[in-house]
Structure 1
Protein backbone atom coordinates (compact mmCIF):
# COMPACT_ATOMS: atom_id res chain seq x y z
CA UNK A 1 0.00 0.00 0.00
CA UNK A 2 2.88 2.36 0.77
CA UNK A 3 4.33 1.80 -2.70
CA UNK A 4 0.98 2.55 -4.33
CA UNK A 5 0.58 5.70 -2.25
CA UNK A 6 4.04 6.89 -3.22
CA UNK A 7 3.36 6.11 -6.89
CA UNK A 8 0.10 8.09 -6.76
CA UNK A 9 1.84 11.03 -5.07
CA UNK A 10 4.42 11.00 -7.85
CA UNK A 11 1.75 10.67 -10.54
CA UNK A 12 -0.39 13.57 -9.28
CA UNK A 13 2.51 16.01 -9.50
CA UNK A 14 1.65 16.38 -13.18
CA UNK A 15 -1.68 18.24 -13.60
CA UNK A 16 -1.84 17.22 -17.27
CA UNK A 17 -1.54 13.53 -16.34
CA UNK A 18 -4.25 13.88 -13.69
CA UNK A 19 -6.60 15.53 -16.19
CA UNK A 20 -5.80 12.81 -18.73
CA UNK A 21 -6.62 10.12 -16.16
CA UNK A 22 -9.94 11.81 -15.36
CA UNK A 23 -10.74 11.98 -19.09
CA UNK A 24 -9.97 8.27 -19.49
CA UNK A 25 -12.20 7.42 -16.52
CA UNK A 26 -15.03 9.56 -17.92
CA UNK A 27 -14.70 7.90 -21.33
CA UNK A 28 -14.78 4.43 -19.79
CA UNK A 29 -17.80 5.35 -17.66
CA UNK A 30 -19.63 6.83 -20.66
CA UNK A 31 -18.90 3.70 -22.71
CA UNK A 32 -20.18 1.41 -19.95
CA UNK A 33 -23.32 3.52 -19.48
CA UNK A 34 -23.91 3.97 -23.23
CA UNK A 35 -27.36 2.26 -23.17
CA UNK A 36 -28.42 4.63 -20.38
CA UNK A 37 -26.89 7.85 -21.70
CA UNK A 38 -27.76 7.42 -25.38
CA UNK A 39 -30.97 9.04 -26.67
CA UNK A 40 -31.48 6.01 -28.96
CA UNK A 41 -29.99 2.66 -29.87
CA UNK A 42 -28.19 3.72 -33.05
CA UNK A 43 -27.99 0.18 -34.36
CA UNK A 44 -31.65 -0.73 -33.91
CA UNK A 45 -32.92 -0.48 -37.47
CA UNK A 46 -36.53 -0.12 -36.31
CA UNK A 47 -35.63 3.04 -34.36
CA UNK A 48 -34.07 4.82 -37.35
CA UNK A 49 -35.83 7.18 -39.73
CA UNK A 50 -34.17 8.20 -42.99
CA UNK A 51 -36.05 11.51 -42.75
CA UNK A 52 -33.65 12.33 -39.89
CA UNK A 53 -30.54 11.76 -42.02
CA UNK A 54 -27.77 14.38 -41.84
CA UNK A 55 -29.56 16.70 -39.39
CA UNK A 56 -27.41 19.53 -38.07
CA UNK A 57 -26.25 19.55 -34.42
CA UNK A 58 -29.05 20.67 -32.11
CA UNK A 59 -31.83 19.73 -34.54
CA UNK A 60 -35.04 18.01 -33.49
CA UNK A 61 -35.80 14.65 -35.10
CA UNK A 62 -39.14 13.30 -36.29
CA UNK A 63 -39.59 11.49 -32.96
CA UNK A 64 -39.03 14.69 -30.98
CA UNK A 65 -35.49 13.74 -29.93
CA UNK A 66 -32.96 16.59 -29.84
CA UNK A 67 -29.83 15.43 -31.62
CA UNK A 68 -27.10 17.36 -29.80
CA UNK A 69 -24.35 16.35 -32.23
CA UNK A 70 -26.63 15.88 -35.23
CA UNK A 71 -27.22 12.67 -37.17
CA UNK A 72 -25.34 10.71 -39.80
CA UNK A 73 -26.44 9.67 -43.28
CA UNK A 74 -28.48 6.75 -41.89
CA UNK A 75 -30.43 8.92 -39.42
CA UNK A 76 -28.49 7.68 -36.37
CA UNK A 77 -28.10 10.05 -33.45
CA UNK A 78 -24.38 10.85 -33.59
CA UNK A 79 -23.90 11.13 -29.82
CA UNK A 80 -25.43 7.68 -29.37
CA UNK A 81 -23.32 6.22 -32.17
CA UNK A 82 -20.13 7.69 -30.66
CA UNK A 83 -20.89 6.29 -27.19
CA UNK A 84 -21.60 2.82 -28.61
CA UNK A 85 -18.54 3.10 -30.84
CA UNK A 86 -16.34 3.96 -27.86
CA UNK A 87 -17.76 0.96 -26.04
CA UNK A 88 -16.87 -1.38 -28.89
CA UNK A 89 -13.41 0.15 -29.35
CA UNK A 90 -12.54 -0.16 -25.66
CA UNK A 91 -13.75 -3.77 -25.45
CA UNK A 92 -11.73 -4.76 -28.51
CA UNK A 93 -8.62 -2.81 -27.44
CA UNK A 94 -8.60 -4.06 -23.83
CA UNK A 95 -9.32 -7.68 -24.84
CA UNK A 96 -6.62 -7.63 -27.51
CA UNK A 97 -4.16 -5.80 -25.24
CA UNK A 98 -4.56 -8.18 -22.31
CA UNK A 99 -4.34 -11.26 -24.54
CA UNK A 100 -1.25 -9.89 -26.28
CA UNK A 101 0.22 -9.12 -22.85
CA UNK A 102 -0.22 -12.73 -21.69
CA UNK A 103 1.22 -14.14 -24.92
CA UNK A 104 4.12 -11.70 -24.89
CA UNK A 105 4.95 -12.31 -21.22
CA UNK A 106 4.97 -16.07 -21.76
CA UNK A 107 7.31 -15.83 -24.75
CA UNK A 108 9.59 -13.16 -23.25
CA UNK A 109 10.00 -14.80 -19.85
CA UNK A 110 10.52 -18.24 -21.37
CA UNK A 111 13.21 -16.91 -23.71
CA UNK A 112 14.99 -15.11 -20.85
CA UNK A 113 14.76 -18.03 -18.43
CA UNK A 114 15.71 -20.94 -20.68
CA UNK A 115 17.99 -19.02 -23.07
CA UNK A 116 20.06 -21.10 -25.47
CA UNK A 117 18.61 -22.15 -28.79
CA UNK A 118 15.00 -21.84 -27.63
CA UNK A 119 15.48 -18.28 -26.44
CA UNK A 120 17.39 -17.29 -29.59
CA UNK A 121 14.71 -18.72 -31.90
CA UNK A 122 11.84 -17.10 -29.98
CA UNK A 123 13.46 -13.68 -29.95
CA UNK A 124 14.45 -13.84 -33.63
CA UNK A 125 10.79 -14.43 -34.45
CA UNK A 126 9.85 -11.47 -32.25
CA UNK A 127 12.52 -9.26 -33.85
CA UNK A 128 11.33 -10.25 -37.32
CA UNK A 129 7.78 -9.23 -36.47
CA UNK A 130 8.92 -5.96 -34.88
CA UNK A 131 10.59 -5.05 -38.18
CA UNK A 132 7.17 -4.98 -39.87
CA UNK A 133 4.65 -2.14 -39.32
CA UNK A 134 1.80 -3.29 -37.08
CA UNK A 135 -0.86 -1.81 -39.39
CA UNK A 136 0.38 -3.79 -42.40
CA UNK A 137 0.48 -7.01 -40.40
CA UNK A 138 -3.03 -6.38 -39.07
CA UNK A 139 -4.27 -5.64 -42.60
CA UNK A 140 -2.95 -8.94 -43.91
CA UNK A 141 -4.38 -10.95 -41.02
CA UNK A 142 -7.82 -9.32 -41.19
CA UNK A 143 -7.90 -9.86 -44.95
CA UNK A 144 -7.25 -13.56 -44.31
CA UNK A 145 -9.65 -14.01 -41.36
CA UNK A 146 -12.50 -11.75 -42.48
CA UNK A 147 -14.60 -9.19 -40.62
CA UNK A 148 -15.88 -9.51 -37.08
CA UNK A 149 -14.86 -8.80 -33.49
CA UNK A 150 -13.12 -12.18 -32.85
CA UNK A 151 -11.16 -11.87 -36.10
CA UNK A 152 -10.19 -8.28 -35.32
CA UNK A 153 -9.05 -9.17 -31.79
CA UNK A 154 -6.96 -12.06 -33.15
CA UNK A 155 -5.34 -9.75 -35.71
CA UNK A 156 -4.50 -7.15 -33.06
CA UNK A 157 -3.05 -9.78 -30.73
CA UNK A 158 -0.76 -11.12 -33.46
CA UNK A 159 0.25 -7.59 -34.43
CA UNK A 160 1.02 -6.46 -30.86
CA UNK A 161 2.30 -9.37 -28.77
CA UNK A 162 5.89 -8.85 -29.96
CA UNK A 163 6.13 -5.50 -28.13
CA UNK A 164 5.29 -7.19 -24.85
CA UNK A 165 7.61 -10.11 -25.57
CA UNK A 166 10.60 -7.85 -26.27
CA UNK A 167 9.92 -5.74 -23.14
CA UNK A 168 9.46 -8.82 -20.92
CA UNK A 169 12.61 -10.40 -22.32
CA UNK A 170 14.73 -7.30 -21.67
CA UNK A 171 13.47 -6.85 -18.10
CA UNK A 172 13.66 -10.58 -17.27
CA UNK A 173 17.18 -10.92 -18.68
CA UNK A 174 18.40 -8.23 -16.28
CA UNK A 175 16.59 -9.87 -13.34
CA UNK A 176 17.82 -13.34 -14.33
CA UNK A 177 21.38 -12.43 -13.27
CA UNK A 178 20.44 -11.21 -9.80
CA UNK A 179 21.31 -13.12 -6.63
CA UNK A 180 17.75 -13.79 -5.52
CA UNK A 181 16.98 -15.58 -8.80
CA UNK A 182 20.17 -17.62 -8.56
CA UNK A 183 19.20 -18.56 -5.01
CA UNK A 184 15.72 -19.60 -6.15
CA UNK A 185 17.24 -21.73 -8.91
CA UNK A 186 19.33 -23.61 -6.35
CA UNK A 187 16.17 -24.74 -4.53
CA UNK A 188 13.79 -27.53 -5.62
CA UNK A 189 11.38 -24.94 -7.07
CA UNK A 190 10.16 -25.72 -10.57
CA UNK A 191 11.09 -23.51 -13.51
CA UNK A 192 7.51 -22.32 -13.89
CA UNK A 193 7.39 -21.28 -10.23
CA UNK A 194 10.63 -19.30 -10.54
CA UNK A 195 9.28 -17.62 -13.69
CA UNK A 196 5.92 -16.54 -12.34
CA UNK A 197 6.85 -15.95 -8.70
CA UNK A 198 10.25 -14.29 -8.98
CA UNK A 199 10.81 -12.99 -12.51
CA UNK A 200 7.29 -11.84 -13.43
CA UNK A 201 6.64 -9.41 -10.51
CA UNK A 202 9.88 -7.55 -11.24
CA UNK A 203 9.13 -7.19 -14.96
CA UNK A 204 5.60 -5.81 -14.51
CA UNK A 205 6.34 -2.03 -14.24
CA UNK A 206 7.64 -1.62 -17.83
CA UNK A 207 4.94 -4.00 -19.08
CA UNK A 208 2.21 -1.85 -17.51
CA UNK A 209 3.52 1.15 -19.44
CA UNK A 210 3.66 -0.82 -22.69
CA UNK A 211 0.14 -2.17 -22.09
CA UNK A 212 -1.22 1.37 -21.69
CA UNK A 213 0.37 2.53 -24.92
CA UNK A 214 -0.69 -0.59 -26.81
CA UNK A 215 -4.34 -0.19 -25.75
CA UNK A 216 -4.29 3.26 -27.34
CA UNK A 217 -2.57 1.79 -30.41
CA UNK A 218 -5.20 -0.97 -30.63
CA UNK A 219 -7.98 1.65 -30.62
CA UNK A 220 -6.26 3.47 -33.48
CA UNK A 221 -5.67 0.25 -35.44
CA UNK A 222 -9.30 -0.84 -35.03
CA UNK A 223 -10.53 2.55 -36.23
CA UNK A 224 -8.14 2.49 -39.18
CA UNK A 225 -9.17 -1.00 -40.26
CA UNK A 226 -12.86 -0.17 -39.90
CA UNK A 227 -12.35 3.08 -41.85
CA UNK A 228 -10.82 1.02 -44.67
CA UNK A 229 -13.76 -1.40 -44.57
CA UNK A 230 -11.69 -4.32 -43.24
CA UNK A 231 -12.49 -4.15 -39.54
CA UNK A 232 -16.00 -4.38 -38.17
CA UNK A 233 -19.06 -4.92 -40.40
CA UNK A 234 -21.36 -1.95 -40.99
CA UNK A 235 -23.92 -3.43 -38.57
CA UNK A 236 -21.54 -2.92 -35.62
CA UNK A 237 -20.80 0.40 -33.86
CA UNK A 238 -17.33 1.71 -34.64
CA UNK A 239 -15.69 5.14 -34.63
CA UNK A 240 -13.76 4.21 -37.75
CA UNK A 241 -16.97 3.39 -39.63
CA UNK A 242 -18.59 6.64 -38.46
CA UNK A 243 -15.63 8.64 -39.76
CA UNK A 244 -15.72 6.74 -43.05
CA UNK A 245 -19.49 7.26 -43.43
CA UNK A 246 -19.16 11.02 -43.09
CA UNK A 247 -15.98 11.45 -45.11
CA UNK A 248 -17.86 11.85 -48.39
CA UNK A 249 -20.00 14.65 -46.92
CA UNK A 250 -17.14 16.83 -45.64
CA UNK A 251 -16.96 18.97 -48.76
CA UNK A 252 -20.72 19.51 -48.72
CA UNK A 253 -20.54 21.20 -45.31
CA UNK A 254 -21.87 18.32 -43.21
CA UNK A 255 -18.67 18.18 -41.21
CA UNK A 256 -20.18 16.84 -37.98
CA UNK A 257 -20.64 13.29 -39.30
CA UNK A 258 -16.87 12.74 -39.45
CA UNK A 259 -15.44 15.47 -37.21
CA UNK A 260 -17.16 14.54 -33.94
CA UNK A 261 -16.27 10.81 -34.09
CA UNK A 262 -12.76 11.86 -35.10
CA UNK A 263 -12.49 14.16 -32.10
CA UNK A 264 -13.75 11.40 -29.79
CA UNK A 265 -11.10 9.04 -31.20
CA UNK A 266 -8.35 11.66 -30.90
CA UNK A 267 -9.21 12.61 -27.30
CA UNK A 268 -9.40 8.96 -26.24
CA UNK A 269 -6.05 8.00 -27.75
CA UNK A 270 -4.35 11.19 -26.55
CA UNK A 271 -5.59 10.80 -22.97
CA UNK A 272 -4.49 7.15 -22.76
CA UNK A 273 -1.08 8.03 -24.19
CA UNK A 274 -0.64 10.85 -21.67
CA UNK A 275 -1.47 8.46 -18.83
CA UNK A 276 1.02 5.95 -20.21
CA UNK A 277 3.70 8.62 -20.54
CA UNK A 278 3.28 9.61 -16.90
CA UNK A 279 3.32 5.97 -15.80
CA UNK A 280 6.61 5.59 -17.66
CA UNK A 281 8.05 8.27 -15.38
CA UNK A 282 6.44 7.02 -12.17
CA UNK A 283 7.36 3.35 -12.65
CA UNK A 284 10.93 4.02 -13.77
CA UNK A 285 13.07 3.65 -10.61
CA UNK A 286 16.10 5.40 -12.16
CA UNK A 287 14.12 8.54 -13.05
CA UNK A 288 12.42 8.58 -9.63
CA UNK A 289 15.81 8.48 -7.90
Structure 2
Protein backbone atom coordinates (compact mmCIF):
# COMPACT_ATOMS: atom_id res chain seq x y z
CA UNK A 1 0.00 0.00 0.00
CA UNK A 2 1.57 3.29 -1.12
CA UNK A 3 1.66 6.58 0.74
CA UNK A 4 -1.23 8.10 -1.23
CA UNK A 5 -3.45 5.13 -0.47
CA UNK A 6 -2.63 5.43 3.22
CA UNK A 7 -3.51 9.13 3.19
CA UNK A 8 -6.81 8.40 1.42
CA UNK A 9 -7.61 5.74 3.99
CA UNK A 10 -6.86 8.12 6.85
CA UNK A 11 -9.07 10.82 5.31
CA UNK A 12 -11.89 8.31 5.02
CA UNK A 13 -11.32 7.16 8.59
CA UNK A 14 -11.43 10.73 9.93
CA UNK A 15 -14.94 11.20 8.54
CA UNK A 16 -16.26 9.27 11.52
CA UNK A 17 -15.77 11.26 14.76
CA UNK A 18 -16.75 8.19 16.77
CA UNK A 19 -13.97 6.14 15.17
CA UNK A 20 -11.42 8.89 15.79
CA UNK A 21 -12.40 9.10 19.47
CA UNK A 22 -12.28 5.28 19.71
CA UNK A 23 -8.79 5.26 18.19
CA UNK A 24 -7.68 7.90 20.69
CA UNK A 25 -9.11 5.82 23.55
CA UNK A 26 -7.25 2.72 22.30
CA UNK A 27 -3.98 4.68 22.12
CA UNK A 28 -4.46 6.06 25.64
CA UNK A 29 -5.30 2.62 27.05
CA UNK A 30 -2.28 1.07 25.34
CA UNK A 31 -0.04 3.85 26.70
CA UNK A 32 -1.39 3.40 30.24
CA UNK A 33 -0.83 -0.36 30.00
CA UNK A 34 2.75 0.07 28.78
CA UNK A 35 3.57 2.65 31.44
CA UNK A 36 1.86 0.78 34.28
CA UNK A 37 5.11 -0.09 36.15
CA UNK A 38 6.01 3.60 36.28
CA UNK A 39 2.66 5.31 36.87
CA UNK A 40 0.83 2.79 39.08
CA UNK A 41 0.95 3.71 42.80
CA UNK A 42 1.56 0.07 43.75
CA UNK A 43 2.85 -3.19 42.28
CA UNK A 44 -0.15 -5.53 42.72
CA UNK A 45 2.04 -8.56 41.94
CA UNK A 46 4.28 -7.93 44.97
CA UNK A 47 2.58 -9.95 47.70
CA UNK A 48 4.95 -8.62 50.38
CA UNK A 49 3.75 -5.06 49.74
CA UNK A 50 0.08 -5.91 50.37
CA UNK A 51 -1.60 -5.32 53.70
CA UNK A 52 -4.86 -7.10 54.51
CA UNK A 53 -5.76 -4.16 56.74
CA UNK A 54 -6.21 -2.19 53.53
CA UNK A 55 -8.70 -4.68 52.11
CA UNK A 56 -11.93 -3.29 50.59
CA UNK A 57 -11.19 0.36 51.31
CA UNK A 58 -13.63 2.78 49.69
CA UNK A 59 -12.53 5.00 46.77
CA UNK A 60 -10.58 8.00 48.03
CA UNK A 61 -9.42 6.30 51.23
CA UNK A 62 -5.86 6.52 52.55
CA UNK A 63 -4.28 3.16 53.38
CA UNK A 64 -1.21 2.05 55.25
CA UNK A 65 0.95 3.14 52.31
CA UNK A 66 -0.07 6.73 53.09
CA UNK A 67 -1.33 7.47 49.58
CA UNK A 68 -4.86 7.89 48.33
CA UNK A 69 -6.53 4.86 46.76
CA UNK A 70 -8.49 6.75 44.10
CA UNK A 71 -10.56 3.72 43.11
CA UNK A 72 -10.40 1.93 46.45
CA UNK A 73 -8.86 -1.48 47.13
CA UNK A 74 -9.92 -5.07 46.50
CA UNK A 75 -10.32 -7.92 49.00
CA UNK A 76 -6.55 -8.59 48.97
CA UNK A 77 -5.64 -5.00 49.83
CA UNK A 78 -4.44 -4.17 46.32
CA UNK A 79 -4.81 -0.63 45.09
CA UNK A 80 -7.55 -1.03 42.49
CA UNK A 81 -6.20 1.60 40.11
CA UNK A 82 -2.83 -0.17 40.07
CA UNK A 83 -4.48 -3.55 39.63
CA UNK A 84 -6.53 -2.26 36.68
CA UNK A 85 -3.45 -0.77 34.98
CA UNK A 86 -1.49 -3.98 35.41
CA UNK A 87 -4.56 -6.00 34.43
CA UNK A 88 -4.89 -4.00 31.22
CA UNK A 89 -1.20 -4.57 30.56
CA UNK A 90 -1.56 -8.32 31.05
CA UNK A 91 -4.83 -8.65 29.11
CA UNK A 92 -3.56 -6.60 26.15
CA UNK A 93 -0.23 -8.44 26.00
CA UNK A 94 -1.97 -11.83 26.00
CA UNK A 95 -4.56 -10.74 23.42
CA UNK A 96 -2.04 -9.10 21.06
CA UNK A 97 0.46 -11.97 21.28
CA UNK A 98 -2.21 -14.61 20.77
CA UNK A 99 -3.68 -12.57 17.91
CA UNK A 100 -0.28 -12.28 16.20
CA UNK A 101 0.36 -16.03 16.45
CA UNK A 102 -3.19 -16.86 15.30
CA UNK A 103 -2.80 -14.39 12.40
CA UNK A 104 0.46 -15.99 11.28
CA UNK A 105 -0.81 -19.56 11.59
CA UNK A 106 -4.23 -18.90 10.06
CA UNK A 107 -2.85 -16.84 7.17
CA UNK A 108 -0.29 -19.53 6.34
CA UNK A 109 -3.00 -22.21 6.26
CA UNK A 110 -5.44 -20.09 4.24
CA UNK A 111 -2.87 -18.94 1.67
CA UNK A 112 -1.44 -22.42 1.20
CA UNK A 113 -4.88 -23.96 0.82
CA UNK A 114 -5.91 -21.32 -1.75
CA UNK A 115 -2.67 -21.60 -3.72
CA UNK A 116 -2.39 -25.37 -3.98
CA UNK A 117 -6.10 -26.21 -3.81
CA UNK A 118 -7.01 -29.80 -4.61
CA UNK A 119 -7.46 -32.30 -1.83
CA UNK A 120 -5.15 -30.39 0.50
CA UNK A 121 -7.18 -27.20 0.24
CA UNK A 122 -10.47 -29.07 0.61
CA UNK A 123 -9.35 -30.98 3.72
CA UNK A 124 -7.74 -27.91 5.33
CA UNK A 125 -10.83 -25.76 4.85
CA UNK A 126 -13.20 -28.50 6.04
CA UNK A 127 -11.22 -28.66 9.28
CA UNK A 128 -11.38 -24.86 9.55
CA UNK A 129 -15.13 -24.86 8.84
CA UNK A 130 -15.66 -27.56 11.47
CA UNK A 131 -13.88 -25.43 14.05
CA UNK A 132 -15.81 -22.31 13.05
CA UNK A 133 -19.04 -24.19 13.71
CA UNK A 134 -18.05 -24.44 17.39
CA UNK A 135 -18.35 -21.45 19.75
CA UNK A 136 -14.91 -20.00 20.48
CA UNK A 137 -15.62 -19.79 24.21
CA UNK A 138 -16.54 -23.49 24.32
CA UNK A 139 -13.34 -24.52 22.56
CA UNK A 140 -11.24 -22.25 24.78
CA UNK A 141 -12.90 -23.66 27.91
CA UNK A 142 -12.12 -27.23 26.90
CA UNK A 143 -8.51 -26.44 26.00
CA UNK A 144 -7.81 -24.46 29.17
CA UNK A 145 -9.35 -27.21 31.27
CA UNK A 146 -7.00 -29.70 29.58
CA UNK A 147 -3.85 -27.54 29.62
CA UNK A 148 -4.25 -25.97 33.06
CA UNK A 149 -3.77 -22.42 34.33
CA UNK A 150 -0.98 -20.10 33.23
CA UNK A 151 -0.15 -17.49 30.64
CA UNK A 152 1.35 -19.92 28.05
CA UNK A 153 -1.58 -22.31 28.39
CA UNK A 154 -4.08 -19.48 28.02
CA UNK A 155 -2.30 -18.13 24.93
CA UNK A 156 -2.27 -21.59 23.35
CA UNK A 157 -6.02 -21.94 23.96
CA UNK A 158 -6.73 -18.50 22.46
CA UNK A 159 -4.61 -19.24 19.37
CA UNK A 160 -6.36 -22.58 18.82
CA UNK A 161 -9.76 -20.92 19.24
CA UNK A 162 -9.04 -18.01 16.85
CA UNK A 163 -6.71 -19.09 14.04
CA UNK A 164 -9.62 -20.47 11.99
CA UNK A 165 -11.09 -16.97 11.50
CA UNK A 166 -7.83 -15.80 9.91
CA UNK A 167 -7.54 -18.98 7.84
CA UNK A 168 -11.04 -18.59 6.37
CA UNK A 169 -10.52 -14.88 5.64
CA UNK A 170 -7.12 -15.47 4.01
CA UNK A 171 -8.48 -18.36 1.98
CA UNK A 172 -11.39 -16.31 0.64
CA UNK A 173 -9.23 -13.32 -0.31
CA UNK A 174 -6.42 -15.45 -1.77
CA UNK A 175 -8.83 -17.60 -3.79
CA UNK A 176 -10.18 -14.49 -5.51
CA UNK A 177 -6.64 -13.26 -6.25
CA UNK A 178 -5.48 -16.71 -7.38
CA UNK A 179 -7.71 -16.58 -10.46
CA UNK A 180 -6.50 -13.16 -11.63
CA UNK A 181 -4.25 -12.68 -14.65
CA UNK A 182 -1.26 -11.22 -12.80
CA UNK A 183 -1.01 -14.33 -10.61
CA UNK A 184 -1.27 -16.61 -13.62
CA UNK A 185 1.47 -14.57 -15.28
CA UNK A 186 3.65 -14.88 -12.19
CA UNK A 187 3.14 -18.65 -12.20
CA UNK A 188 4.50 -18.84 -15.74
CA UNK A 189 7.81 -17.31 -14.58
CA UNK A 190 10.62 -19.14 -12.76
CA UNK A 191 9.33 -17.78 -9.44
CA UNK A 192 8.83 -20.52 -6.86
CA UNK A 193 5.50 -21.16 -5.15
CA UNK A 194 6.49 -19.56 -1.82
CA UNK A 195 7.70 -16.41 -3.60
CA UNK A 196 4.41 -16.10 -5.49
CA UNK A 197 2.57 -16.50 -2.20
CA UNK A 198 4.65 -13.84 -0.44
CA UNK A 199 4.99 -11.33 -3.28
CA UNK A 200 1.55 -11.49 -4.88
CA UNK A 201 -1.09 -13.25 -2.79
CA UNK A 202 -0.10 -12.13 0.72
CA UNK A 203 -0.07 -8.32 0.10
CA UNK A 204 -3.58 -8.47 -1.40
CA UNK A 205 -5.01 -10.46 1.51
CA UNK A 206 -3.70 -8.12 4.22
CA UNK A 207 -6.49 -5.47 4.15
CA UNK A 208 -9.31 -7.82 5.26
CA UNK A 209 -6.95 -9.53 7.70
CA UNK A 210 -6.22 -6.19 9.38
CA UNK A 211 -9.92 -5.81 10.13
CA UNK A 212 -10.12 -9.37 11.48
CA UNK A 213 -7.12 -8.66 13.74
CA UNK A 214 -8.91 -5.80 15.49
CA UNK A 215 -12.04 -7.87 16.02
CA UNK A 216 -10.12 -10.91 17.26
CA UNK A 217 -7.95 -8.90 19.66
CA UNK A 218 -11.14 -7.55 21.26
CA UNK A 219 -12.56 -11.08 21.30
CA UNK A 220 -9.37 -12.43 22.90
CA UNK A 221 -9.61 -9.83 25.68
CA UNK A 222 -13.21 -10.88 26.33
CA UNK A 223 -12.33 -14.59 26.24
CA UNK A 224 -9.43 -14.12 28.65
CA UNK A 225 -11.63 -12.13 31.03
CA UNK A 226 -14.37 -14.78 30.85
CA UNK A 227 -11.98 -17.67 31.49
CA UNK A 228 -10.30 -15.83 34.37
CA UNK A 229 -13.69 -14.91 35.83
CA UNK A 230 -14.59 -18.61 35.83
CA UNK A 231 -11.28 -19.47 37.52
CA UNK A 232 -9.86 -21.29 34.48
CA UNK A 233 -7.58 -18.62 33.03
CA UNK A 234 -4.83 -16.92 34.97
CA UNK A 235 -3.79 -17.76 38.56
CA UNK A 236 -4.92 -15.44 41.35
CA UNK A 237 -1.39 -14.07 41.72
CA UNK A 238 -1.63 -12.57 38.20
CA UNK A 239 -4.63 -10.23 38.44
CA UNK A 240 -6.27 -9.59 35.07
CA UNK A 241 -9.49 -7.68 34.50
CA UNK A 242 -11.52 -10.89 34.60
CA UNK A 243 -10.00 -11.92 37.92
CA UNK A 244 -10.56 -8.48 39.41
CA UNK A 245 -14.23 -8.64 38.43
CA UNK A 246 -14.53 -12.13 39.92
CA UNK A 247 -12.82 -11.07 43.16
CA UNK A 248 -15.39 -8.39 43.84
CA UNK A 249 -18.47 -10.19 42.61
CA UNK A 250 -19.21 -11.72 46.02
CA UNK A 251 -19.08 -8.29 47.67
CA UNK A 252 -21.56 -6.57 45.34
CA UNK A 253 -24.56 -7.16 47.59
CA UNK A 254 -22.69 -5.75 50.60
CA UNK A 255 -22.25 -2.40 48.85
CA UNK A 256 -18.58 -2.75 47.88
CA UNK A 257 -19.38 -2.26 44.23
CA UNK A 258 -16.08 -0.68 43.20
CA UNK A 259 -14.11 -3.95 43.32
CA UNK A 260 -16.02 -5.30 40.31
CA UNK A 261 -17.53 -2.22 38.69
CA UNK A 262 -14.34 -0.30 37.89
CA UNK A 263 -12.51 -3.25 36.29
CA UNK A 264 -15.72 -4.02 34.41
CA UNK A 265 -15.85 -0.46 33.07
CA UNK A 266 -12.20 -0.70 31.99
CA UNK A 267 -12.91 -3.99 30.20
CA UNK A 268 -16.05 -2.64 28.52
CA UNK A 269 -14.37 0.57 27.31
CA UNK A 270 -11.35 -1.32 25.95
CA UNK A 271 -13.36 -3.90 24.01
CA UNK A 272 -15.85 -1.31 22.73
CA UNK A 273 -13.12 1.07 21.53
CA UNK A 274 -11.24 -1.68 19.67
CA UNK A 275 -14.45 -2.89 18.03
CA UNK A 276 -15.34 0.64 16.90
CA UNK A 277 -11.88 1.04 15.36
CA UNK A 278 -12.27 -2.27 13.55
CA UNK A 279 -15.76 -1.36 12.32
CA UNK A 280 -14.51 1.87 10.75
CA UNK A 281 -11.51 0.09 9.22
CA UNK A 282 -13.94 -2.35 7.63
CA UNK A 283 -15.76 0.51 5.96
CA UNK A 284 -12.52 2.15 4.81
CA UNK A 285 -11.13 -1.05 3.31
CA UNK A 286 -14.42 -2.20 1.74
CA UNK A 287 -15.87 0.73 -0.27
CA UNK A 288 -19.17 -1.13 -0.79
CA UNK A 289 -19.91 -0.73 2.93
CA UNK A 290 -19.62 3.05 2.80
CA UNK A 291 -22.79 5.08 2.81
TM-score under structure 2 length normalisation: 0.98
Matched residue, 1:120:
122
Cα distance in 2 for partners of 1:179, 1:157 equals: 35
Cα distance in 2 for partners of 1:222, 1:183 equals: 45
Matched residue, 1:193:
195
The match for 1:259 among 258, 261, 271 is 261
- The 5 A counterparts of 1:77-96 are 77-96=79-98
Cα distance in 2 for partners of 1:247, 1:22 equals: 30
Cα distance in 1 for partners of 2:178, 2:65 equals: 65
Shift in Å, 1:63: 2.0
Matched residue, 2:177:
175
Matched residue, 2:13:
11
Matched residue, 1:28:
30
Q: SS of the residue aligned with 1:270?
A: helix
Stretches of 4+ aligned residues off by more than 4 angstroms: none
Cα distance in 2 for partners of 1:248, 1:119 equals: 50
Shift in Å, 1:46: 1.4
The match for 1:279 among 278, 281, 285 is 281
Matched residue, 1:135:
137
Matched residue, 1:109:
111
Shift in Å, 1:288: 5.6
Shift in Å, 1:285: 3.8
Cα distance in 2 for partners of 1:233, 1:254 equals: 23
The match for 2:272 among 266, 270, 273 is 270
Q: SS of the residue aligned with 1:27?
A: helix
Cα distance in 2 for partners of 1:104, 1:273 equals: 21
The match for 1:59 among 58, 61, 64 is 61
Cα distance in 2 for partners of 1:45, 1:55 equals: 18
CA-to-partner distance for each residue in 1:114-146, whole Å, 9 max, x for gaps? 001000000000000000000000011111111
Cα distance in 1 for partners of 2:122, 2:128 equals: 10
Cα distance in 2 for partners of 1:72, 1:254 equals: 9
CA RMSD of aligned residues (A): 0.9
Matched residue, 1:42:
44
Q: SS of the residue aligned with 1:251?
A: coil
Give ranges in structure 2 of 5+ residues lacking alignment. Answer: none
CA-to-partner distance for each residue in 1:51-88, whole Å, 9 max, x for gaps? 11000000111221100000000100000000000000
Q: SS of the residue aligned with 1:215?
A: helix
Cα distance in 2 for partners of 1:288, 1:58 equals: 46
Cα distance in 2 for partners of 1:184, 1:167 equals: 23
Give ranges in structure 1 of 5+ residues lacking alignment. Answer: none
Cα distance in 2 for partners of 1:10, 1:82 equals: 34
Q: SS of the residue aligned with 1:246?
A: helix
CA-to-partner distance for each residue in 1:16-40, whole Å, 9 max, x for gaps? 0000000000000000000111111
Cα distance in 2 for partners of 1:63, 1:255 equals: 23
Cα distance in 2 for partners of 1:203, 1:163 equals: 13
Q: SS of the residue aligned with 2:253?
A: helix
Cα distance in 1 for partners of 2:26, 2:93 equals: 14
Alignment of 1:149 onto 2:151: yes
TM-score under structure 1 length normalisation: 0.99
Matched residue, 2:248:
246
